[in-house]
Every structure is written in structure tokens, then in C-alpha cells.
């Protein structure tokens, strides 16, 4: 497989770029141009994530778990191509990227199992104490629920 990085951003299923670019030269190949991310692109990505959350929040836990498992399966099915692209974009050795891929697919499957089990909801029920003094305590229930997308910015993200 031959791949040349195009340096665009994927937002809401569409590739987009800006006029401003920067060059990145991995350790073992030619420099590639990448589109500079802007505040407007971040806002566009956030708006798209918020819009997707509305429909995604209506899906069942089983559907969400299947979704994460399907992502892991697709990553593994495209393992060779992903590794080649990654080495061209970063200059990292294939073995390092293969390890990262295994970690990623393992985490996706772990998250899927937590979704199936409902662990992320952290359900708690404190029973009522009608005889408690000086005043009775009603039953108290707690459940975590997602309220929207999360943005994470980190090294190599």
C-alpha cells in the first residue's frame, strides 16, 4: 500500500483544511504539509460532536458497546494500512505503532464491557431510614448519566 498524508482535519465525516500549513518531517521520509488547526475548526468540531451526542444518547447500552467493538474490529482489519500511515506521519517504528494499536483496541473493548455491565453509571441506592433521629431519611438514589461530549487535548493527540 502506498499512502501520502494529506494533512487535513476530519470533522463530522468531511475532510477540511485551512490555507495555513506547517511542514512535518518524520525521521525517515519526506516532509508533509499539514493544515493548521484554528479556533473556528475547533468550534466546528465541538458543534458536530454536540449534534452527534443528541442522537447517540438515544442508543442502547448494547448498541454503544457494539459500536466500540466494531471500531476495534475495523482498526484490526486495517492494521497494516494504519501502521504504514502512522510510520509515514510520525516516523515512529512499526513495532511501536503496533503496540499502540493493541492498547487502543484493548481499551475500546474494555470500555465496551463496562458499558454492557453499566459500571459507568455508578448506581447507588441508600435505603430510607424512617426511624432515624432527629428526622427520618428518605431513600436516596444516585446514577451518573452522560451530559455531552468531552474534549481531550494531550501529547500526540
Residue 155 lies in a domain: no
Task: Report how far residue 7's alpha carbon sits from residue 85's, in angstroms, rounded to the nearest whole number.
Answer: 12
**Buried residues in 48-70 as b, exposed as e (16+ CB within 10 A):** ebeeeeeeeeeeeeeebbbebbe
Q: How many independent structural domains does the chain possess?
A: 1
CATH number at residue 122: 3.40.605.10
Residue 111 lies in a domain: yes
Residue 150 lies in a domain: no
* Torsion sign, CA atoms 91, 94, 99, 105: positive
Residue 23 lies in a domain: yes
CB–CB of 83/97 below 8 Å? yes
> In terms of residue numbers, what domain contains 131?
9-142
Task: Enter the C-alpha cell of residue 25.
Answer: 518531517
pTM: 0.78
pLDDT by position in tens, the chain (length 157): 566 778 888 999 999 999 898 888 776 667 888 889 899 999 999 999 999 999 999 999 999 999 999 999 999 999 999 998 888 888 889 999 999 999 999 999 999 999 999 988 889 999 999 999 999 999 999 998 888 888 877 765 4
Residue 3 lies in a domain: no
Residue 37 lies in a domain: yes
Nearest alpha-carbon partner for 5 in 70, 74, 89: 89
Amino acid at each position: 500500500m502506498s499512502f501520502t498524508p494529506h494533512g487535513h482535519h476530519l470533522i463530522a465525516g468531511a475532510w477540511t483544511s485551512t490555507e495555513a500549513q506547517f511542514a512535518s518531517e518524520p525521521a525517515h521520509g519526506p516532509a508533509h504539509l499539514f493544515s493548521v488547526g484554528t479556533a473556528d475548526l475547533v468550534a466546528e468540531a465541538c458543534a458536530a460532536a454536540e449534534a452527534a451526542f443528541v442522537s447517540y444518547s438515544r442508543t442502547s447500552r448494547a448498541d454503544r458497546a457494539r459500536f466500540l467493538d466494531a471500531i476495534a474490529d475495523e482498526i484490526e482489519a486495517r492494521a497494516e494500512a494504519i501502521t504504514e500511515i502512522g510510520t509515514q506521519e510520525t516516523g515512529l517504528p512499526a513495532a511501536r505503532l503496533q503496540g499502540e494499536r493493541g492498547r487502543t483496541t484493548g481499551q475500546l473493548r474494555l470500555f465496551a464491557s463496562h458499558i454492557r455491565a453499566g459500571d459507568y453509571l455508578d448506581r447507588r441506592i441508600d435505603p430510607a431510614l424512617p426511624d432515624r433521629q432527629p428526622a427520618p431519611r428518605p431513600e436516596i438514589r444516585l446514577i451518573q448519566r452522560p451530559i455531552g461530549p468531552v474534549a481531550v487535548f494531550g501529547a500526540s493527540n
